[in-house]
A and B are shown apart, each in its own frame.
Chain A
Amino acid sequence: MAILADENVRVIVQGITGREASTFTKDMMDYGTQVVAGVTPGKLGQTVHGVAVYDTLRQALKEHPAEASVISVPPALVKDAAIEALENGIKLVVVISERVPRKDTIAFLEVASENKARVIGPNTLGLISPEKIKLGMAGGPVGDVKKAYMPGFVGIASRSGGMTTEVANLLTANGIGQSTCIGIGGDPVVGSNFLDLIPLFENDPETKVVVLFSEPGGVIEEKLCERVMAEKYQTPIIAFIAGRFVDDMPGVRFGHAATIVEGDRGTTKSKISMFNKAGIRVAESFSDIVRIAREYIDA
Chain B
Amino acid sequence: MRLLEFEAKDILKKYGIELPAGQVVSAADGFNFTSPVMLKAQVPIGGRGKAGGVIAADSLKQCRAGIKNLLGKKIRGYHIPKLLVEEKLEIEREFFMAITYDTVAKAPIAIFSPQGGVDIEILAASDPGKVRYETFSARHRLPLYRAKEIISETGVTGKRLLALTVILSKLADIFLDYDATVAEINPLALTKEGKLVALDCHLEIDDDALFRHRELGEIAKGTNRVQPERTASEFERKAMEIDNLDHRGVAGRVIEFDGTMGLIIGGGGASLTAFDAVKAHGGKPANYCEIGGNPSVLKVKELTKLILSKPGVEKIAVIMNVVSNTRVDLVARGIIKGVLESGKDPAATVAVFRIPGAWEEEGYKILSKYGVQFGDRTCSIDQAAQLAVKNFSE
Contact = CB atoms under 8 A, between A and B. Distances in A.
B368 interface: no
A6 B279 CA distance: 40
A191 B103 CA distance: 10
Contacts of A256: 46, 96, 98, 120-121, 184, 186, 202
Contacts, number: 188
A252 B2 CA distance: 14
B324 A242 contact: no
B138 A169 contact: no
B103 A162 contact: no
A75 interface: yes
Interface in B191-214: 202, 204, 206, 208-209, 211-212
B19 to A, nearest CB: 19
B109 A101 contact: no
A255 B118 CA distance: 11
A262 B285 CA distance: 32
A245 B125 contact: no
A260 B380 contact: no
Contacts of B181: 102
A166 B272 contact: no
Contact of A102 (B179, B270, B357, B381): B179
Contacts of B340: none
Interface in B119-133: 120-121, 124-125, 131, 133
A249 B285 CA distance: 14
A186 B103 CA distance: 12
Given A257-B99, A287-B383, A141 B358 contact: yes
A106 B107 contact: yes
Contacts of B204: 255
Given A163-B269, A213-B269, A257 B100 contact: yes
A50 interface: no
A110 B269 contact: no
A263 interface: yes
Interface of A: 75-76, 99-104, 106-107, 109-110, 137-141, 144, 147-148, 158-163, 165-166, 169-170, 173, 186, 188-189, 191, 193, 195, 213, 215-216, 218-220, 223, 240, 242-246, 249-253, 255-261, 263-264, 284-287
18 contacts: A75-B208, A100-B208, A103-B179, A103-B206, A139-B324, A140-B325, A144-B324, A148-B322, A163-B269, A188-B103, A195-B104, A213-B269, A243-B276, A244-B276, A255-B204, A259-B121, A261-B111, A286-B277
Given A102-B206, A220-B103, A240-B273, 14 more contacts: A102-B101, A102-B209, A103-B206, A106-B101, A137-B325, A162-B322, A242-B276, A250-B230, A255-B100, A256-B202, A258-B182, A259-B124, A260-B133, A264-B125
